[in-house]
Structure 1
Amino acid sequence: MLCLLIMLINGCAQQKPLNARYPLWGRPINLPATDGQTRHLQILEPKDSEACILIVHGMNEYIGRYGEIAAYFADRYTVAGLDLSAHGLSNPVIARADENIKAGNGKQDISEAFLEQSRIRDLQPMRQDFERALSYLQHHCHRRSADQAMPVFILSHSLGSLVAASWLLQTEDSELKHSIAGMIFSGPAFSVTEVPGWRGWLQTPLVRFTYHTHEHFLNPHDEALPLLLFNQLLALVTVPIQDGLIELLSLPGMRQLFSPSTPDWVVDYLSDWEAERRRHNADPFIIRRSVLRYVLAVEKEVIRFRRRMAEFNTPYLLIYSEHDPITPAWGNEDFVAASRQNHRDNDVMMLAGAHHHEQLFSEPALRRQVLEKIASWLLLRTAEH
Structure 2
Amino acid sequence: MLLLVAALFGSAVFNSSFFRIGSGMVNILSLFIVLCGVTYLFMHFYNKKRGEKYLPSRSSDRFFWMFFYTGVISVIASYLGFYKAIASNDVMFDSSFIPRQAYYLFFIPLVILAGRHVQTPTILKWIQKNYRALFFLVYLAYIAVNRTPAIDVPCFFCLSTLLLMGRERNRAADVAMLLLIELSPIDTGGEMTQALCRIACLFLFFAEEGGKFLRPMVCFSVVVVLVCYILPFIPLEWIGLDANTSWRLQYWGDELRQLLKTFGVGVGFGTSYATQSFIGEAVSGPFAATAEYSVMERLYVVGCHNSFVSISFRLGMIGAVLLLIYIMSCSHRRLPRSRSNYLTYSIVSSIAVVCFNVGFESPMYFFLFAFSFAAFSAMTPDQQVATSQN
Instruction: Confirm or deny a common fold (TM above 0.5).
Output: no
Q: Indicate the structure with greater helix content.
A: 2
TM-score, length-scaled by structure 1: 0.25
TM-score, length-scaled by structure 2: 0.25
The structure whose RCO (Cα within 8 Å, separation 6+) is larger is 2
Q: Indicate the structure with greater strand content.
A: 1
